[in-house]
Structures are given as structure tokens and as C-alpha cells.
Chains A and B, each alone.
Chain A
Amino acid sequence: MKAAITVFPGTNRERDMADALERASGTRPTMVWHGERDLSGYDLIVVPGGFSYGDYLRCGAMAGNSPILRAVKEQADRGVTVLGVCNGFQILTETGLLPGVLLRNAGLKFICKMTHIRCEKSAAPFTGKLTQGQVSRVAVAHNEGNYYADDETLDMLEGEGRVVFRYCDDRGNVSDATNLNGSQRNIAGIVNKRGNVLGMMPHPENAIDPMAGGTEGLPIFQSLATAILA
């Protein structure tokens, strides 16, 4: 698996992401600096978490306008698998690769904790190793993770089965009480129409180690490794 991780000024979870991908696939991904314009030759492109450009103006806005994002878009259009996590999700919505936006958390505070998400759809390349309804304990760490889209868009996402993860409790119950940031319909992750671009707020890459965070994030990376190696 040849994976690229994009690095912007202010990106800070690129190493966590590289560790997770390496653990699942056995190969170390390549870090690609934001000034690059060509991303051809990779099977997987990951836009990781952090504070690209300080999260100034709007999270993801400046990175979303950078040259490398044009390259990400090109590859996505050609069907290459693209994963955006946290700031990466924000960036992908800013570029229009995914619909909606991520607003400030409803509680107006940064939230860092372990939480649960429910897999709504078991499908390659992102969730092939998860079963539908499977609950995973993963980390969240964000200030703007409040997913918002108008009702029409939300209905379309639901109708097309594009909501991939929702915030839930440890038994998979989805309710207002488990909606930690105010997201519409508890949405934690969505895919594009074609199914090759996934954006999610939680950090599965911080749940790959029995000693720190547990290992319930690992199946996502194993899904990618399997789907892409196959």
C-alpha cells in the first residue's frame, strides 16, 4: 500500500496517523509537504488532524485553498481513496469534496476524550472490517466538530447510505446524550457519493495501542490495508 499523508503548516497528528497506517499495513506512509502539486502514484491519501494554518479564519479554509488540495481533488476524482480525519475532514468539506461544514462545538469548548462511534455501513475501503452496528471506542479532540448541513443534504446523505459513523454510547445507542458536539443527527463521519472519500471527526489513529487508547480504531486501518492491497 502506497500511502501519502499531507502536511500543512500547523498539522500535528501526522505521526499518529503514520503509526496507525504502518501498524495496519506494514509500510510507512510518505509525508507530503503542502507545496507539492502532484500526488499521482499513491493508493491512499490521508489528510490528517491538527491546526492547519492555526485554524485561523475558519478551520480548514486556508488548507482547502492550497495547491496540494487541488492534487487531492484530482486523485479523488480518479477514484483514489482519500481519508480526512478531524482537521482533514474540515479541509475536505471546505474544498467541497464532502458536503456540509463543521461548526464550533455546541458546548463552545474543545473536547478531548475517548468516545464511542457506531458503524452505520460496512463497506470497502474504509469499513470493510467492521460490521454494521459495530461500536468502536476511539478518541476525539476538536473544537469545531459540530457537523452541519441543511435538511435536504442530510436526507440525501441518509438516503444514499453515506453516513458512516455516528456518536453513540458504549452499547451503540444514538441519542442527544451521546452527541458530544451538537452534530446534526449525531454524524461523526460521511463518505462522498462515489464512496472513495471519507471524512470523520474522531481519531481512530489514537486507538491502535493496547496501552494507550485501546485498539478499537485499528479495524479502520486494516480495512484500508485489505481493500487497497487486494
Chain B
Amino acid sequence: MSLPQVDITPEIVAEHGLTSDEYKTVLDILGRAPNITELGIFSVMWSEHCSYKSSRVWLKTLPTEGPQVIQGPGENAGVVDIGDGDAAVFKIESHNHPSFIEPYQGAATGVGGIMRDVFTMGARPIANLNALRFGEPAHAKTRHLVSGVVAGIGGYGNCMGIPTVGGEVNFDKAYNGNILVNAMTVGLARTDKIFYSKASGIGNPVVYVGSKTGRDGIHGATMASAEFSEDSEEKRPTVQVGDPFTEKLLLEACLELMATDAIVSIQDMGAAGLTSSSVEMADKGGVGIELELDKVPMREEGMTPYELMLSESQERMLMVLKPGREAEAKAIFDKWELDFAVVGTVTDTGNLTLKWYGETAGEIPVAPLVDASPMYERPWEPTPSSPVVKSEDVASSLSAGAALKKLMASPDLCSRRWIWEQYDHLIGGETVQTPGAADSAIVRLPGKSKALAVTVDCTPRYCLADPITGGAQAVAEAWRNITATGAKPLAITNNMNFGNPERPRIMGQFVGAVKGMSAAAKTLDFPVVSGNVSLYNETNGEAILPTPVIGGVGLIEDAANSVGLGLTETGLILILIGE
């Protein structure tokens, strides 16, 4: 079990996606050259995905506060007060690239990931939503992608027993080579039982629970380096297979343990696995964490510290427990037939220390690793304004009736029943407004009369024409969809899907959308409490349409008063309001 020795060549640094400036910072922080495991950790932590290096400057400008906000962006999910000691916990997340490569598993693991974000905070998920973007219907791949993605979302959510109650779908050729799969989960917690990721208590045990760690998602390019050549001809898959059954057990086990007071903090192992969970927990608490990597439950033989730190295996969590509570916690995870291992301790060193059968396999000071994470003010160009099209100027040869038929049959407007019938939207018996029945779905709180109104919205073609107006419109639409059911809008989560931010035109779209979103959210008192950014959505230099998806949550005190779209009896009067 000796540690593999790998020379850190400029090629290896480049394969890890670090620029030479970024690598210089690594050398400064460590005061020496990193070993391969440490290099991998820097690479993951400073990736776009974890560090938000292109977007952070702008995301800071979003309004995130309000009397209803208990937790804004920065935790696993946002938390909003909904009265009577109840809280709504929610977030949206993208799984675009994996869903294009393997639609079923990609979409499924996306749903699994976002549910973990929510139940990590102590909330039981009560509703899932999804925002989907596909290429043209006639494109050779579209059918296969639509059916795979929908089946994958259903497959995971249905097995978990969480109703999938809403979503939206668009088709445009800009997504031919890069579909978007954004999944949102809304959960329910008690305001005095919210769990956070901040590690504390020097000497407290760090515990690993869930599935075993395999070599999932460890980047192919890196693996091909000489020292990992064992089977380098077989490129490592970058798509994980989801295991909703295990996640259901993980959900129940975590909630059971959360009902005790044994947990100090908890963090799910998302995209960057053990690395980001341990670093974030340590950084938030201003402490160090020592991990004995040989104690991590492993699915395969011969795994290295590098692989353990970078694996993206799903259905895992890291927790800090109060001292002496390990046995009680283990009993719960044993009952649910999940792995449980004490893998480390909280330390006062401020370092992430990695041990491998007693040997030190890596040591990185946490604060500099996080603080020095790159942040770029990417150059951007404002989107040139397009001429406003007046309806009077658009000649149409179609009669109103024919136009209506054409609209109803168009891919962007036709019925979505084919999709939502593949999702269990009835489980729980609380779905008061089902998909298609109202402008937002209404899901009642178990045992209560109040309910949450939930919706996801974005109109990418507006955002392409004018990102500022488009960004604002998405927020306004979510707000309208919630108010239209009789609920009061509370807060939003957002999923910023854009092309390559290194291109000033694309960065301009991003900046515009943030500005518009910000303005609308401020005006409507509809703060952003969580979100996700997905950049580099391009194929062969063709970017997707700018797609800032808004997930909105509102509250209605009595679900019986919620209003749907249906005309329930004859003789009703139709009223048009607004401009």
C-alpha cells in the first residue's frame, strides 16, 4: 500500500486544468511542489464548478436577503421561513453534460444530487421539478435524449418516493449538441432543526456514510498519466450510475440520525466528492480535518489516495459527530444497511491532512486553498439591443383559429402530459395542484392546511434577444405563476446555463441576465437563496441560448383556496388583467 510516486510535470499540471499562474499560487501556498493527490485537490477546488471563478463577482450582486430568509446562498440549499416553525429548503442544479452522454443515468444522478443537497440540511424532500432544454425535435438525437432524460428523472424520483410535480421543456437547435437538464428539489424542515456544514469541536470524529467509493468520474485525461496506466486504454467513464434505492435508505437513515442531537455538521459528497466536502466543512469552521483515507469504504481494489479524494461516487455523505455518539449513529446506518466509517477527526491545525496507512499522503492549509481560489473579472460585451418587434408589424396569413391550432401543436407549447405521466406526481397524497392543473404546482404540508407553490421558468429566446429583460422576465414569470395560484411568492433559486465565459459576448449575456434577475428580484422582494452555474455549454463553438432558469417557491396558507387553470363550470366570466 505504498503511495504512488508521480512527477509533477507541466503536462500533468495542464491536464489538471490549472493555468501557470494558478500553479504558482499552489507553490506559494504549500511552499513546495504538490504531490499528485494535492495537485488533484487544488484542481478540483479551483475548477469552474467548485470555485465559480468566472461568475462569483457577479453572483455577489444578487439580492439574497429578506425577513423570510433563514439561509441564503453558500450552504447546500437555501432556507426560507414559512411560519409555525416550518421552513422550506430548496435548490436547483444542472446535470447537462452527463445527460447528453448517457441521458438516463445523467439525468437520474442529477436528481439524486439535488435531493441530497436538500436532505443534508435536515429537510425531507416533498417536491421535485425539472427544467429541460433539447435540440430541434427533428434532430437525430433528440428523441433518444428526451425519452432517456425523462425516464431517468422519473426512475430516480419515483424510486425515492418524492413527487415530481412540475417543470418546463423547450426545443431549439442551439441545444442540439448540448442539452440542459436542471433539477430542483424542495424540502421541508423545522426552523430549529436545520443542519449546516460548518465543522467544529477539535477531536470530534469525522464520519463517512452511504455507498462505497469507486473510481467514478475520475477524469480520464489524468488517469492516462504513466503512473495510472494499469488500464489506461480503457478510458474511465465520466458518467455515474445512480442508485436511487441506496439514496432512499440514505435519506431515511440521515433523517433518523438528525432526529437525535448527535450531528455537529453534515455535508453531502457532490461533484467533487471527499475533497470539496472536507475542505468546505473545515473552511467554514476555521478548523483542520485529518482523514485516514485507508478507512474509506472502497468498492474496488487498489484504490489510491488520489482516486479516493477525486471520486465522484454518488449517494455518500460526510458528517462531524459529537464525541462518543459513533455507536448510536452506526446502529442507525447498520439498520439501513449502509456503510458507516469513522474516517478522521477535526483538528486545530487548519490543514487538510491526509493519511494513508499511517503515512502522510498530503497536507494543505485549508484557508489559503479556499481564499486563493481564483476569481476572474472576465471581459464582457453588452449584448447589442435588438429592434423591438411590434405585433402590428407582423403580418399573418393565418386566421385566429388556425394560428391557435398551430401554436397548440408547436413543440414548445404542446401538452407535456407525456412527460409528467412518467413521473410519480401523486405520491404522498399532498399534490393539490398537479402538473398541467395550475400555473404552479401546489404541494400541501403533511397534516396541515398550508401548502407550497413551486414553479420553474425561463424563456431563453427572450434572454438571447435581451439578457437583461430576459433575466428579469424569468423572475417575473415565476412570480406570476406563483401569485396566479393564490400563493405569496417567497424566494427563488437560479440555474445559470450559459456558453463559454471566456468569450466576452457570452460573458455579456451572463452579466445581463444577472442584472435583470437582480433588478426584478429586488423589485418583487423575491430574493435568491440558492443557485447553480453551468458554463461552457457549447459544441464546436456554438453556444446554447442563454438560459437562466428560475425556480420559485411561494406559500399559500390554505391549500383549499388555491386556484387552477381549469374552467370548472359554464357561465364563468373571463377577465383579462394587466396591460
User: Which positions in A face B, CB cutoff 8 Å?
Assistant: 9-10, 12-13, 15-16, 19, 50-51, 53-56, 109-114, 139, 141, 143, 203, 205-206, 208-209, 211-213
Contacts and interface: CB of A to CB of B under 8 A. Distances in A.
Nearest to B160: A12
Given A112-B424, A203-B426, A12 B248 contact: yes
5 contacts: A12-B427, A19-B429, A54-B245, A112-B422, A141-B427
Given A16-B429, A206-B427, A213-B426, 11 more contacts: A15-B428, A16-B427, A16-B428, A110-B423, A110-B424, A139-B426, A206-B426, A206-B429, A208-B429, A211-B444, A213-B429
A198 to B, nearest CB: 21
Most buried by B among A10, A53, A111, A205: A10
A9 B337 contact: yes
Interface string B419-450: 01111111111111000000000001010000
Contact of A54 (B243, B421, B426): B243
Interface residues on B, range: 20 to 34
Contacts of A212: 426, 429-432, 444
A10 B336 CA distance: 10
B421 A53 contact: no
A35 to B, nearest CB: 9
A212 B432 CA distance: 5
The 8 closest A-B pairs by CB, nearest first: A12-B161, A54-B245, A51-B159, A141-B424, A112-B424, A139-B426, A110-B422, A206-B426
B321 interface: no
Most buried by B among A12, A55, A56: A12
A65 B432 CA distance: 37
B72 to A, nearest CB: 32
Contacts of A209: 429
Contacts of A12: 159-161, 248, 427
B151 A109 contact: yes
A50 B421 contact: no
A113 B421 contact: yes
Interface in B128-152: 151
A145 to B, nearest CB: 13
Nearest to B162: A12
Contacts of A203: 426
A65 B421 CA distance: 31
Contact of B151 (A16, A110, A141): A110
B560 interface: yes
Contacts of A206: 426-427, 429
B154 interface: yes
A22 B202 CA distance: 48
Contacts of B423: 110, 112
Contacts of B246: 54
Contacts of B160: 12
A212 B245 CA distance: 27
Contacts of B158: 51, 110, 112, 141, 143
B157 to A, nearest CB: 10
B234 to A, nearest CB: 26
Interface in B390-445: 420-432, 444
Nearest to B430: A212
A13 B161 contact: yes
A15 B429 CA distance: 9
Nearest to A209: B429
A112 B159 contact: no
A112 B421 CA distance: 5
Contacts of A111: 421-422
A51 B446 CA distance: 22
A225 B449 CA distance: 26
Contact of B161 (A50, A109, A113, A139): A50
A179 B552 CA distance: 37
A5 to B, nearest CB: 14
B217 interface: no
Q: Which of A9, A55, A203, A205 has the most chain B CB atoms inside 10 A of its CB?
A: A9
Contacts of A16: 427-429
Nearest to B420: A112
A215 to B, nearest CB: 12
A106 to B, nearest CB: 14
Given A51-B158, A110-B422, A141-B427, A10 B432 contact: no
Interface string B239-250: 000011110110
A109 B153 CA distance: 12
Contacts of B432: 211-212
B243 to A, nearest CB: 7
Interface string B327-364: 00000000011000000000000000000000000000
Q: Pick from A13, A141, A209 the residue with the most CB of B within 10 Å.
A: A141
A114 B560 CA distance: 20
B520 interface: no
B549 interface: no
B559 interface: yes
A15 B423 CA distance: 19
Chain A CB within 10 Å, residue with most, of B155, B244, B249, B424: B424
